[in-house]
């Protein structure tokens, strides 16, 4: 009993048992813990966010483009004193007493997460040498790594109007709260009869396969903003054509929000403003007018800031997928980005057609005749998003439509 070999064996067994207990405790705390607890823990993680191994391209973002004009040392950059100008809509305090900002600041958890001075939109005045040097180290959509200064600069210089730096003009909504509805495409809206409630908001955001015709009673008709990546827009036109989605929304007062997830978003945006065919790349020869209308001026277009996308992912939707083989592909869904955009610009926000706790009761999309289960893709974390919406709803920061 007292031999050195027996003592060593006992010590090894004890060490193994201790390690097993520690590993089980860690697993139970991180994997088995309720989602509502895990999301708050993930939200409070410290930045910075590492999104992809060095040298790993995000989609096609590693390809370099040469469309002419501009150089890293050229005159296309703005003076660095102009760097990261805040949105005009946030320079003046909102007169709304129960605004998103007020409620977020009053919440003990979310007050540590929201940063309302983060620029939401990217425009001409943001294109400085300092910004280029900083963002060229990050993969798209969180930066410009792999993109040429020519394609980024020549696109952003066209976003040079005051309309490009703010989502909307707060002066157009005097003396009250700017109320926004963000309409996802979830099956929960089928038979919901929420159309009038949605259209009663000052501004309505829609995205991807936003089928309206035939579903007006459930989803309304108003469209103030349509958000997308070129990839999701084109995929929606193909995938949902059978349901009547043959054209993205168009209208005189409608604005388009580009999510810069790839080089093709910059190239398509430039061609759309110039009213010319896409010059090269996977969309070469495409006519932007067929998507955005024949008279789409620069004022109709907005582009989310890569810093804003980085901030949203790091602080609100930092998924465990980032630690897997799919980490370089991960980004929040288009719906999540539109909802969080509204939360950083509007005073009051209602979310319709987003994933809820009882999502299995509904079809993937509201316009599907036969019920189809919600599809989970490796590049999104829909359960993390669902937990975030529930947390924001409980805090009174959003109103989440549920059934």
Closest CA to 250 of 291, 206, 202: 291
Which overall architecture, per CATH, does domain 100-400 show? Alpha-Beta Complex (3.90)
Give the three-state DSSP class for 385. Answer: helix
Give the three-state DSSP class for 289. Answer: helix
- Domains in the chain: boundaries: 100-400
Pairing of strands 225-228, 203-207: parallel
What is the reported pLDDT for 48? 56
Q: Give residues with Cβ within 8 angstroms of 71, minimum separation 6.
A: 149, 150
What is the reported pLDDT for 295? 76
What is the reported pLDDT for 71? 39
What is the reported pLDDT for 117? 93
What is the reported pLDDT for 97? 79
Closest CA to 63 of 307, 266, 315, 254: 266
Would you state the structure tokens that stand for residue 249, as one six-digit string? 């929304």
Per-residue pLDDT of the chain (403 residues; tens, 9 = 90+): 444 444 444 444 444 444 433 333 333 333 333 444 444 344 434 455 544 433 333 433 333 233 333 333 334 677 654 444 444 444 455 678 789 999 999 999 999 999 999 999 999 999 999 999 999 999 999 999 999 999 999 999 999 998 999 999 988 888 789 999 999 999 999 999 999 999 999 999 999 999 999 999 999 999 999 999 999 999 999 999 999 999 999 998 999 999 999 999 999 999 999 999 999 899 999 999 999 998 788 999 999 999 999 999 999 999 888 888 888 888 999 999 999 999 999 999 999 999 999 989 999 999 998 888 887 877 888 999 999 999 999 999 999 999 9
What is the reported pLDDT for 184? 96
What is the reported pLDDT for 271? 96
Residue matched to tokens 């992809």: 52
Region for 350 from its dihedrals, namely left if φ exceeds 0, alpha if ψ lies in -120 to 50, beta otherwise: beta
Task: List C-alpha distances in Å: 190 to 74, 292, 365, 383.
Answer: 54, 27, 8, 21
Q: Which residues of 266-300 are buried (b: 16+ CB within 10 A; e: fewer)?
A: bbbbbbbbeeeebeebebeebebeebbbeebebeb
């Amino acid at each position: 009993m007292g031999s050195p070999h027996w003592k060593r064996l006992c010590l090894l067994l004890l060490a193994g048992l201790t390690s097993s207990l520690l590993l089980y405790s860690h697993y139970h705390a991180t994997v088995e813990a309720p989602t509502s607890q895990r999301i708050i823990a993930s939200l409070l993680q410290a930045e910075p966010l590492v999104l992809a191994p060095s040298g790993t391209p995000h989609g096609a973002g590693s390809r370099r483009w040469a469309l002419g004009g501009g150089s890293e040392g050229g005159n296309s950059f703005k003076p660095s004193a102009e760097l990261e100008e805040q949105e005009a809509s946030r320079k003046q305090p909102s007169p709304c007493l129960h605004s998103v900002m007020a409620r977020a600041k009053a919440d003990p958890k979310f007050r540590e997460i929201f940063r309302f001075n983060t620029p939401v939109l990217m425009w001409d005045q943001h294109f400085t040498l300092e910004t280029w040097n900083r963002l060229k180290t990050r993969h798209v959509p969180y930066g410009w790594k792999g993109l040429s200064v020519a394609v980024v600069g020549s696109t952003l210089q066209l976003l040079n109007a005051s309309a490009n730096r703010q989502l909307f003009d707060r002066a157009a909504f005097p003396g009250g709260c700017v109320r926004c509805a963000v309409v996802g495409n979830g099956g929960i809206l089928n038979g919901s009869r929420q159309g009038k409630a949605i259209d009663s908001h000052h501004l309505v955001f829609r995205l991807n396969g936003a089928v309206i015709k035939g579903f007006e009673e459930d989803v309304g008709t108003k469209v103030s903003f349509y958000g997308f990546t070129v990839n999701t827009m084109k995929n929606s036109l193909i995938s949902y054509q059978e349901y009547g989605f043959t054209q993205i929304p168009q209208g005189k007062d409608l604005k388009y929000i580009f999510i810069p997830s790839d080089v093709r978003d910059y190239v398509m945006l430039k061609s759309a403003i110039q009213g010319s065919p896409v010059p090269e790349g996977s969309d070469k020869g495409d006519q932007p007018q067929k998507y955005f209308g024949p008279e789409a001026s620069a004022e109709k277009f907005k582009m989310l800031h890569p810093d804003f996308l980085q901030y949203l992912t790091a602080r609100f939707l930092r998924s465990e997928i980032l630690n897997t083989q799919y980490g370089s592909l991960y980004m929040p869904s288009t719906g999540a980005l539109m909802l969080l955009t509204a939360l950083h610009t509007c005073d009051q926000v209602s979310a319709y057609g987003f994933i809820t706790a009882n999502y299995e009761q509904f079809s993937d999309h509201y316009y599907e005749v036969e019920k189809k289960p919600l599809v989970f893709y490796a590049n999104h974390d829909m359960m993390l998003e669902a937990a975030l919406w529930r947390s924001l709803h409980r805090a009174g920061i959003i109103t989440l439509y549920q059934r």
